[in-house]
Chains A and B, each alone.
Chain A
Amino acid sequence: MKTVYWNLKTSPGQETREQKKSLGLEYVKKLKKENEKVIEVKEENDRLVILLEDN
């Protein structure tokens, strides 16, 4: 299993946390499309933690 992180931290003038989360979920879709086996996606503090099967 391997872990990939998606940063949800925000700064003034940037996307909101929700927008960042939405971009993160788009990224998860991209991973799936590229045949990555996604085991779990969870929100931990300021990041999405994406657990993937080792390829």
Chain B
Amino acid sequence: MARSDNKNLVYGEWWRGQSGLGKLDQNKFYDLDNCDIHSEVGLVQPQLALISDSNTPSEACFSAIVPTGDVYLCSKTTGKIWKRAVSDGTYSLVHTNTNTAHRGCRYFNGYLFYWVSNKLGYYDLSSTWSDSFATFTNSNARGAEEHANCLYILDGRYAARIDAANAFSANELSLPAQFIGTAIKSLGDDLLIGTYIGTNVSYCKVFLWDSVNTSWTLESEIFEIGVNCFIQLDGLLLAQCGTEGRFYYWSGLRMKKFGKIRGITTALGEQMSCVYKGRALFANANKCYSIHREDKDLEWAFCKEYTVTTGTIASLLVQADQLLVHRGTGVDKVGTSRAIATIETPEMPRQFNNSIVLYEDNPSGITISTKINNGVYATKTPILDTIHRTVSFDGGEKECVYGQAKITLTPYSEGSPAVEKVPKIRLISLL
């Protein structure tokens, strides 16, 4: 990524995203936070900020959308079920499941199905709630997927099925006894099933199943504690696995390494991914990461795009063109103002005296910090050159052996009535 002209290192290929390898990886950025790197190739600007849609539900929830566009949110800790009405965006408590803490929910075949570890319930979207429609054998229900006009729900080593006549079958697939199904995804004629064995066992498997036979077709070992969730990219299925942010992809025969989000802790989490405006999103802690490329000839890029207003993300759902991020104490959505974005360059492996930012728009919102010799970031006084369209600082990093630059893009208001000014940059040059 870094172009060198013997004197400068130039970083401007934003579409490559952030590095999973560390600060010495010169091919990607060390960190991108709240950044929009895909709207215009070659430019970066702050992403739209999340704002609160509601402070209800106040409990971490799974969510499901039904054909009208209404969204149902099922608490992960109690039996409460809320509805977000598509008509006016208001939230209301509509039911309390007597079986308490939910493990998932999904619309299928005219019904909202919701389940706890041992019981499956349904709502007919009219008047009837049936909390104990069926009983799971292993009392370990988790991920679910619609496939071939059936809804499959993983339950320990089994996959249960609800068919188009709403008949429940408890054990359509039997995995070896030690495997516990976590996530399931439709893949052509087949289903791909992710598993774990236990939190102290450092390998797991995915199983490819044709959904007809009681046994599976292919299996592939992954040396991680478990499959946490699947993420659908354009023509590529990822599995987020283990505790350290690693991603694998289904090659057609086996799982292979895809990449890593550095510095995060990952765990089991159905509904921690979605596809929003063509971009696959993955949620972790208080951040939404995109895993995306805007064109087939570009490489896949990780980028931290959204930060919730408060709390920890419990589930993601897209309703029409709106992203709904459930954050445990309410729901956030994408607003119309931009967030504050930060960009950290790789560490330049030799002395540099200055960072020059070539800007596209609104340079008043650009600030530069530098970190030399693995120290701490120090903010520099920006120097604006409107002729050459640069923001820089007065050099003088004389003790520098190696160092990094951090650029902050802060949207601001100007004029009356106030108009939001969004800083946008082309490249960063370290020289």
Please give the distance in Å from B131's CB to the nearest CB on chain A.
9
Query: Given the known A-B contacts A7-B214, A10-B214, are A30 and B169 also in contact in the complex, defined by CB atoms under 8 Å?
Result: no
- In-complex Cβ contact of B167 among A5, A20, A30 (8 A): A5
**Which residues of A, 20-55, contact B by the 8 Å Cβ criterion?**
20, 23-24, 27, 30-31, 34, 36, 47, 55
Instruction: Report if B100 contacts A (CB, 8 A).
Output: no
Please give the distance in Å from A37's CB to the nearest CB on chain B.
12
Instruction: Report if B171 contacts A (CB, 8 A).
Output: yes
Of B20-28, B46-54, B132-140, the one contacting chain A is: B132-140
Would you call the interface of chain A mostly helix, strand, loop, or mixed? mixed
CB-based contact B168/A4 at 8 Å: yes
Please give the distance in Å from B250's CB to the nearest CB on chain A.
22
CB-based contact B169/A27 at 8 Å: no
Mark A1-17 against chain B: 1 for CB-CB distance below 8 A, else 0: 01111110111111100
CB-based contact B213/A11 at 8 Å: yes
Residue of B137, B170, B213 ringed by the most chain A CB atoms within 10 A:
B170
CB-based contact B168/A7 at 8 Å: no
Q: How far is the CA of A10 from the CA of B173 in the complex (A)?
A: 10
- In-complex Cβ contact of B169 among A4, A34, A36 (8 A): A4
Residue of A5, A10, A15, A47 ringed by the most chain B CB atoms within 10 A:
A5
- In-complex Cβ contact of A27 among B130, B137, B167 (8 A): B137
In the complex formed, the residue of B with least CB distance to A47 is B169
Query: Given the known A-B contacts A27-B137, A55-B132, are A4 and B170 also in contact in the complex, defined by CB atoms under 8 Å?
Result: yes
Instruction: Report if B215 contacts A (CB, 8 A).
Output: yes
CB-based contact B169/A9 at 8 Å: no
CB-based contact B214/A6 at 8 Å: no
On chain A, the residues within 8 Å of B171 by CB distance are: 6-7, 20, 23-24, 27
CB-based contact B215/A13 at 8 Å: yes
Instruction: Report if B294 contacts A (CB, 8 A).
Output: no
In this complex, the interface size class of chain A, counting residues with CB under 8 Å from chain B, is 20 to 34
Q: How far is the CA of A13 from the CA of B118 in the complex (A)?
A: 28
- In-complex Cβ contact of A12 among B132, B135, B172, B215 (8 A): B215
In this complex, the interface size class of chain B, counting residues with CB under 8 Å from chain A, is 10 to 19
In the complex formed, the residue of B with least CB distance to A33 is B135
CB-based contact B170/A11 at 8 Å: no
On chain B, the residues within 8 Å of A4 by CB distance are: 134-135, 167-170
On chain A, the residues within 8 Å of B213 by CB distance are: 9, 11
Q: How far is the CA of A26 from the CA of B168 in the complex (A)?
A: 17
**Which residues of B, 129-166, contact A by the 8 Å Cβ criterion?**
130, 132-135, 137
CB-based contact B135/A34 at 8 Å: yes
CB-based contact A5/B135 at 8 Å: no
- In-complex Cβ contact of B170 among A6, A10, A36 (8 A): A6
On chain B, the residues within 8 Å of A9 by CB distance are: 213-214
Instruction: Report if B174 contacts A (CB, 8 A).
Output: yes
CB-based contact A5/B169 at 8 Å: yes
CB-based contact A30/B135 at 8 Å: yes
CB-based contact A31/B215 at 8 Å: no
Q: How far is the CA of A37 from the CA of B391 in the complex (A)?
A: 76
Q: How far is the CA of A14 from the CA of B175 in the complex (A)?
A: 9
On chain B, the residues within 8 Å of A11 by CB distance are: 213-215
In the complex formed, the residue of B with least CB distance to A46 is B214
On chain B, the residues within 8 Å of A31 by CB distance are: 135
In the complex formed, the residue of A with least CB distance to B132 is A55
Q: How far is the CA of A15 from the CA of B173 in the complex (A)?
A: 12
CB-based contact A15/B174 at 8 Å: yes
Please give the distance in Å from A32's CB to the nearest CB on chain B.
10
- In-complex Cβ contact of B172 among A7, A13, A15, A55 (8 A): A7
CB-based contact B214/A14 at 8 Å: yes
Q: 28 A-B Cβ contacts within 8 A?
A: A2-B133, A3-B168, A4-B134, A4-B135, A4-B169, A5-B170, A6-B169, A6-B170, A7-B169, A7-B170, A7-B171, A7-B214, A9-B214, A10-B214, A11-B213, A11-B214, A11-B215, A13-B215, A14-B214, A14-B215, A23-B137, A23-B171, A27-B170, A27-B171, A34-B118, A34-B132, A36-B135, A47-B169
Residue numbers of A with Cβ under 8 A of B are 2-7, 9-15, 20, 23-24, 27, 30-31, 34, 36, 47, 55
Contacts A4-B134, A6-B171 aside, 8 further interface pairs with beta carbons under 8 A come to: A4-B135, A4-B168, A4-B170, A5-B169, A9-B213, A11-B215, A27-B170, A34-B132
5 A-B pairs with least C-beta separation:
A11-B215, A5-B169, A9-B214, A7-B171, A4-B168
